């Protein structure tokens, strides 16, 4: 595909080198169009060498080739990373003073902006309005990441990880539908840790890869995403709001809070069913080599609680209490669609169907565990059980494929 990588004048311009490499290494043809001031951060020779193409900043170079029209017209994707407050303002108002802004005006392909700036600039009403204008026109503006900025200050404004920007661009180029536009979704990911003492915990092997793929694909499909991440060491998915938790009780709190006004909740996290009855304040010591028994108590079942709350709200509203094809947006109380995950070793479908009914969810993604599938691998294969519908088989493939199947089914139930 032909990609135009616009680079504006932010310190994060150096990270765009990595983004450029990700595009070229996966076979895309990239033309880099920096703004003049962006070259103060990363020079023209770097962009030319990394992209294998000449680099110019204004419309007066190579005029006979009409680059200000041609680059935009021929592009399959334009991505601006980092996008400064200045370039967002120019794009929102249709200014066309240099090659990047003229390219943005002539492009008819998807346009992705990855803003990076200080928090004050990002939150200024002028920037907020410019971002809203660009989004209304169909551009994708990725929310900046939260974290350390150029100086000692922290807040929203960091350029998301280049791999995350690349993933969004990849999904945009793959032609994902924007069927979650205007929807709020919550995804839980990772595995909970139940503390025994200040240094030890009971945990599980969940890597968070499937939950993160769900969050990323939901962002790409236009949703406002809250990702509740339990002990995951993966880069934040660009554009998602990440809430970090450790234990099942913390995860419950975060999921219930975020789902109060959400359209859909996907519980991809592996939640511990039990936790130690006491969390010792001091490290547990060996007692003459004798193991100390650990007493466990039950954790709340968050998925079942979401289903039960919704059932009660629907009953109170006098609408059907059973999830099914009638579970559409606006009926009862949020969340309107609830999705669970289940790892099964035996009688996969029968156990899955029973769990779907028991937990009151609309969709249940059933994984057969073992065979090198699921935990920690980039691939997954699953059956999605549908309340009131036929199961959908998802053959072995990238976790994004399973995520897309789930969101397609969720979007259909939100119509
Ligand atoms: N889940 C949850 N709260 C828990 C445990 C699990 O919300 N305390 C959610 C998981 O996020 C996942 C689904 O429930 O979506 C997985 O259920 P599972 O743990 O397999 O269900 P159980 O009822 O514990 O089934 P089993 O009897 O097979 O252990």
pLDDT tens per residue, range 299-345: 999 999 999 999 888 888 877 644 444 444 555 678 899 999 998 88
CATH code for the domain of 275: 3.40.50.10300
DSSP character at residue 290:
B
Q: Which of 173, 199, 215 is the last residue of a domain?
A: 173
Task: Assess contact for 237 and 219: CB atoms under 8 A.
Answer: yes
Residues of the chain with pLDDT > 90: what percent?
68
* One domain for residues 115 and 201: no
Please provide the average confidence, as pLDDT, over all residues in the chain.
90
Task: Using the structure block, give the residue that is written with the tokens 């915990």.
Answer: 201
Q: Is the pLDDT of residue 266 over 50?
A: yes
Q: Is the CB of 365 under 6 A from ligand 1?
A: no
* One domain for residues 244 and 140: no
Q: Is the pLDDT of residue 32 over 80?
A: yes
201 is in an annotated binding site: no
- Give domain status of residue 178, yes or no: no
- Give domain status of residue 147, yes or no: yes
* One domain for residues 263 and 297: yes
- Give domain status of residue 101, yes or no: yes
Task: Assess contact for 342 and 321: CB atoms under 8 A.
Answer: no
Q: Is the pLDDT of residue 384 over 70?
A: yes
* One domain for residues 252 and 288: yes
Take residue 28 and report the two structure tokens written for it.
């895309």
* One domain for residues 226 and 353: yes
Q: Is the CB of 367 under 6 A from ligand 1?
A: no
User: Over the stretch 60-98, which tens digit does the pLDDT of each residue have?
Assistant: 777 667 666 888 888 999 999 999 999 999 999 999 999
Q: Is the CB of 206 under 6 A from ligand 1?
A: no
Task: Assess contact for 258 and 179: CB atoms under 8 A.
Answer: no
* One domain for residues 112 and 57: yes
As a whole number of angstroms, the distance between CA 290 and CA 87 comes to 66
Listed in sequence order, the DSSP H helices in 259-382 are 302-316, 348-359
* One domain for residues 124 and 200: no
Q: How confident is the model at residue 355 (pLDDT cuts 50, 70, 90)?
A: very high
Mutate to test the pocket of ligand 1, among 186, 208, 271, 344 (most ligand atoms within 8 A of CB): 271
273 is in an annotated binding site: yes
As a whole number of angstroms, the distance between CA 220 and CA 264 comes to 16
In terms of average pLDDT, the best of 130-144, 293-307, 343-357 is: 293-307
- Give domain status of residue 294, yes or no: yes
Span 136-156, average pLDDT:
83
Q: Is 229 helix (H, G, I), strand (E, B) or coil?
A: strand
DSSP character at residue 185:
E
What does residue 67 show for φ and ψ, rounded to 5 degrees?
Answer: -65, -30
* One domain for residues 309 and 279: yes
* One domain for residues 391 and 302: yes
Q: How confident is the model at residue 371 (pLDDT cuts 50, 70, 90)?
A: low
* One domain for residues 266 and 400: yes
- Give domain status of residue 284, yes or no: yes
Which residue's alpha carbon is nearest to atom 27 within ligand 1? 355
286 is in an annotated binding site: no
As a whole number of angstroms, the distance between CA 47 and CA 194 comes to 48
The rounded radius of gyration (Å) of the Cα atoms in the chain is 24
Listed in sequence order, the DSSP H helices in 64-181 are 67-74, 85-93, 99-106, 119-123, 125-136, 162-173
Span 141-149, average pLDDT:
87
Q: Is the dihedral of CA 300, 303, 306, 308 positive or negative?
A: negative
User: Over the stretch 396-413, which tens digit does the pLDDT of each residue have?
Assistant: 888 888 999 999 999 999
Q: Which of 119, 143, 173 is the last residue of a domain?
A: 173
Residue 136: burial class (beta carbons within 10 Å; 0-12, 13-18, 19+): exposed
- Give domain status of residue 363, yes or no: yes
Number of domains in the chain: 2
As a whole number of angstroms, the distance between CA 7 and CA 14 comes to 10
Q: How far is the CA of 301 from the centre of ligand 1 (A)?
A: 7
pTM for the complete prediction?
0.75
Which residue's alpha carbon is nearest to atom 6 within ligand 1? 271
Span 354-373, average pLDDT:
86
- Give domain status of residue 179, yes or no: no
- Give domain status of residue 63, yes or no: yes
As a whole number of angstroms, the distance between CA 401 and CA 415 comes to 22
* One domain for residues 158 and 233: no
pLDDT number for residue 287: 77
Q: Is the CB of 207 under 6 A from ligand 1?
A: no
Among 26-35, 124-133, 341-350, whose mean pLDDT is lowest? Answer: 341-350
Structural domain that includes position 141: 2-173
Residues of the chain with pLDDT > 70: what percent?
94
CATH code for the domain of 32: 3.40.50.1950
Q: Is the CB of 248 under 6 A from ligand 1?
A: yes
As a whole number of angstroms, the distance between CA 103 and CA 130 comes to 18
Which residue's alpha carbon is nearest to atom 3 within ligand 1? 301
Span 220-235, average pLDDT:
93
pLDDT number for residue 326: 41
Q: Is the pLDDT of residue 281 over 90?
A: yes
Task: Assess contact for 307 and 361: CB atoms under 8 A.
Answer: yes
Q: Are strands 111-115 and 2-7 parallel, antiparallel or unpaired?
A: unpaired
Task: Assess contact for 5 and 19: CB atoms under 8 A.
Answer: yes
pLDDT number for residue 370: 65
Q: Which of 173, 196, 218 is the last residue of a domain?
A: 173
Phi-psi region of 72 (alpha: psi -120 to 50; beta: other; left: phi over 0): alpha
DSSP 192-221: --EESSSS-EE-----SHHHHHHHHHHHHT
* One domain for residues 107 and 245: no
Which residue's alpha carbon is nearest to atom 20 within ligand 1? 342
Span 189-203, average pLDDT:
97
300 is in an annotated binding site: yes
Q: Is the pLDDT of residue 14 over 60?
A: yes
């Amino acid at each position: 595909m032909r990609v135009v990588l616009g680079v504006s004048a932010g310190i994060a311009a150096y990270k765009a080198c990595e983004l450029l490499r990700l595009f070229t290494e996966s076979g895309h043809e990239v033309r880099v169009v920096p703004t003049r001031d962006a070259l103060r951060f990363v020079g023209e020779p770097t962009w030319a060498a990394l992209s294998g193409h000449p680099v110019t900043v204004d419309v007066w170079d190579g005029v006979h080739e009409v680059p200000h029209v041609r680059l935009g017209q021929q592009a399959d994707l334009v991505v601006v990373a980092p996008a400064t407050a200045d370039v967002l303002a120019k794009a929102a108002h249709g200014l066309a003073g240099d090659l990047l802004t003229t390219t943005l005006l002539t492009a008819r392909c998807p346009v992705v902006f990855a803003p990076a700036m200080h928090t004050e600039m990002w939150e200024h009403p002028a920037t907020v309005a410019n971002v809203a204008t660009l989004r209304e026109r169909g551009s994708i503006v990725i929310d900046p990441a939260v974290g350390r900025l150029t100086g000692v200050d922290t807040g929203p404004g960091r350029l998301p990880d280049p791999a995350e920007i690349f993933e969004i661009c990849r999904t945009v180029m793959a032609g994902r539908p924007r069927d979650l536009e205007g929807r709020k979704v919550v995804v839980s990911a990772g595995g909970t840790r139940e503390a025994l003492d200040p240094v030890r915990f009971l945990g599980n092997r969940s890597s968070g890869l499937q939950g993160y793929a769900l969050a990323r694909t939901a962002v790409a499909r236009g949703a406002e995403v809250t990702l509740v991440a339990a002990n995951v060491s993966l880069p934040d998915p660009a554009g998602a709001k990440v809430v970090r938790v450790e234990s099942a009780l913390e995860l419950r709190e975060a999921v219930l809070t975020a789902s109060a006004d959400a359209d859909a909740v996907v519980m991809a996290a592996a939640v511990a069913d039990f936790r130690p009855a006491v969390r010792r304040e001091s490290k547990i010591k060996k007692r003459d080599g004798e193991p100390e028994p650990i007493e466990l108590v039950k954790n709340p079942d968050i998925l079942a609680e979401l289903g039960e709350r919704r059932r009660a709200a629907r009953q109170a509203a006098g609408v059907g209490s059973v999830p099914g094809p009638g579970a559409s947006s606006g009926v009862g109380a949020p969340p309107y669609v609830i999705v669970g995950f289940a790892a099964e070793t035996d009688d996969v479908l029968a156990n899955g169907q029973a769990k779907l009914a028991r937990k009151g969810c609309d969709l249940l993604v059933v994984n057969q565990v073992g065979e090198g599938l699921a935990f920690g691998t980039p691939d997954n294969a699953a059956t999605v059980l549908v309340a009131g519908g036929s199961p959908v088989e998802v053959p072995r493939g990238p976790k994004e494929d399973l995520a897309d199947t789930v969101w397609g089914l969720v979007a259909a139930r939100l119509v």
